[in-house]
Structure 1
């Protein structure tokens, strides 16, 4: 649980999502990344809930949400399908529009939602990614070594699932620690770590997380290319927060990449590794509170 939040399960029409919610005001949806779930927002969500109707779902395949099996075309965990889940969640909750902030895989869901369902967003927040197609295009040998999971997790099933299954807790711990600025697990709360380890140990959720990356390597990458060729633009005002020690910082000029996708882009870096929400929660709250208020 997130302190002060209630937890329910919501049928979105395709899958049932586990959802945490607190606060009043304009709806704000917070979307987590890999290999995490709603727990990653525990330090910042209560601050947002003082000003917004704050909604924190577990994405399909993560946490306590449904984890359907992948399909041959890798569309089950495409960001288009996962974005549709969030629209379905909004429909089920009776919400017309919302602010959306996403980190990592959740940010990929968020920007695809902004492209596919522009009338459902007020403002968009992106943490610690560049668009999927742009990230693939920016690969160098050094970046490929650091982001090896993009190709490893996308290998055909059940290879990565079985390899991770040999010691899922160790794999989760290695991934989490290596992506922090200090290469340490100390920034993660005990309850969060326990949840991330349990998620990795569950065969259905482990398969889902691999399927998420298979979608990224195939369907999502191709969809980004199609959107770019069509000149698709994100209409919502977008604020991009990246970490000085994260993956986007190694792509050259990550803010410039987002400016190709959206006419209204602001951004700033913070001192952190990839997990900025837990490593530097004050920077996250400050950056996005200003953005959501239109400052």
Structure 2
């Protein structure tokens, strides 16, 4: 699905992850967000693979990876559990340390990995999020309307699953379109758009996506708040890219939020909606390729 990349499957932390890989050099792991999968990296991964060993897993619950049923405490889809998936993936591939770049939910897995596995991380890239606890604390009426899915998807089983099941592709198309700068699906490569629609047709994956957000409203937020109280910080160099029309831009000082969480922060902005890798791939490459090469 991504030019030059091959697919394999890796068993780790109780799940089988689908993994796409290409290139040579220092390992660079790319983590996608909601409601996407590995295909969101199609326009930037080949350029990164010219310099790095690029590894793109589908997070648990997404793409071709396993989608286990959630548990009552939502640990199954907590970012701590997903970060353990990535640590286990590195173990399976014989990788000691890697760069990690994450977008959206993948960004949340990436910074949780940075906090929980600091010795396994070289440099950290984050696209288009602020930390989970920080984002919840920033909510006002305007942000609540824009980010309504945070509360909708986090409702108890099976309410959001049943409502989305009435028209899963329509719901995903609405979500994707509404978060772009141009309010158009044309920004997505055709093969990627179909991959997002295909996983939306699978009730197990819709359940997984809801579970991802249930974790965000409960256990992920609690872990973040405990880390903030303990004054834990990300020690790896962090590069942050945020879209001028995306979610973090509505949360206050987006880059400043990361400086509360990390010791070394650089930031850039781009003219884009939420899906920077597909809407502004040149900006993503220009931001992160030199950053990771410097590491």
TM-score range, shorter chain: over 0.9
Q: What's the counterpart of residue 14 of structure 2? A: 14
Partner Cα separation in structure 2 for residue 194 and residue 291 of structure 1: 32
1:215-230 correspondence runs (5 A): 215-230=215-230
Task: State the number of aligned residues.
Answer: 295
Shift of residue 67, structure 1, vs aligned partner = 0.2
Aligned equivalent of 2:49: 49
Deviation at 1:294, TM superposition (A): 2.2
Describe the superposition over 1:197-256 as per-residue Cα deviations: whole angstroms up to 9, x where unpaired: 111110100000000000000000010000001111101000000000000001111100
User: Equivalents in 1 of 2:103, 2:261: separation in Å?
Assistant: 18
1:193-208 aligned at under 5 Å gives the runs 193-208=193-208
1:130-180 superposed Cα distances (whole Å, 9 cap, x missing partner): 000000000010000010000000000110001000000000000000000
Deviation of 1:13 after TM superposition, in Å, equals: 3.2
Report the 3-state secondary structure (helix = DSSP H, G, I; strand = E; otherwise coil) of the residue aligned with 2:125: strand
2:196 counterpart of 1:174: no
- Deviation of 1:278 after TM superposition, in Å, equals 0.2
Whether 1:129 and 2:129 are equivalent positions in the alignment is yes
How far apart are the structure 1 equivalents of 2:211 and 2:262?
A: 28
The 1-side partners of 2:18 and 2:142 are apart by: 37
Output one character per residue of 1:70-121: Cα deviation in whole Å (capped at 9) or x when no partner: 0000110000000000000000000000000000000000000000000000
Structure 1 residue 244 corresponds to structure 2 residue 244 = yes
Name the structure 1 match of 2:120.
Answer: 120
SS at match of 1:186: helix
Maintained 8 Å contact 2:2/2:39: yes
| Alpha-carbon distance in structure 2 between the residues aligned to 1:82 and 1:284 | 24
Name 2:273's counterpart in structure 1.
273
Q: Distance in 1 between matches of 2:132 and 2:294?
A: 27
Residue equivalent to 1:154: 154
Structure 2 unaligned blocks of 5 or more: none
Distance 1:201 1:141 in 2: 32
What is the Cα-based RMSD across aligned positions, in Å?
0.7
Deviations 1:243-293 (Å, cap 9, x if unpaired)?
Answer: 000000011111000001111000010000000000000000000012112
Within 1, Cα distance between the matches of 2:103 and 2:13? Answer: 24
Once the two structures are TM-superposed, the CA of residue 14 in structure 1 deviates from its matched residue by 1.5
1:101 maps to which residue? Answer: 101
Aligned counterparts of 2:91 and 2:208: Cα–Cα separation in 1? 24
1:110: which partner in 2? Answer: 110
* Whole-angstrom CA distance in 2 between matches of 1:36 and 1:151: 19
Q: Does the CA-based 8 Å contact 2:15-2:66 persist in structure 1?
A: yes
Cα distance in structure 2, aligned partners of 1:198 and 1:168: 9
Please give the alpha-carbon distance, in whole angstroms, between the structure 2 residues aligned to 1:15 and 1:236. 28
- CA distance in structure 1 between the aligned counterparts of 2:202 and 2:138, rounded to whole angstroms: 33
SS of equivalent residue, structure 1 residue 272: coil
TM-score of the pair, normalised by structure 2: 0.99
> Unmatched 5+ residue regions in structure 1?
none
Q: TM-score, normalised by structure 1?
A: 0.99
C-alpha separation between the residues in 1 aligned to 2:91 and 2:234?
Answer: 21
Q: Deviations over 1:44-91 (max 9, x none)?
A: 000000000000000000000000000000110000000000000000
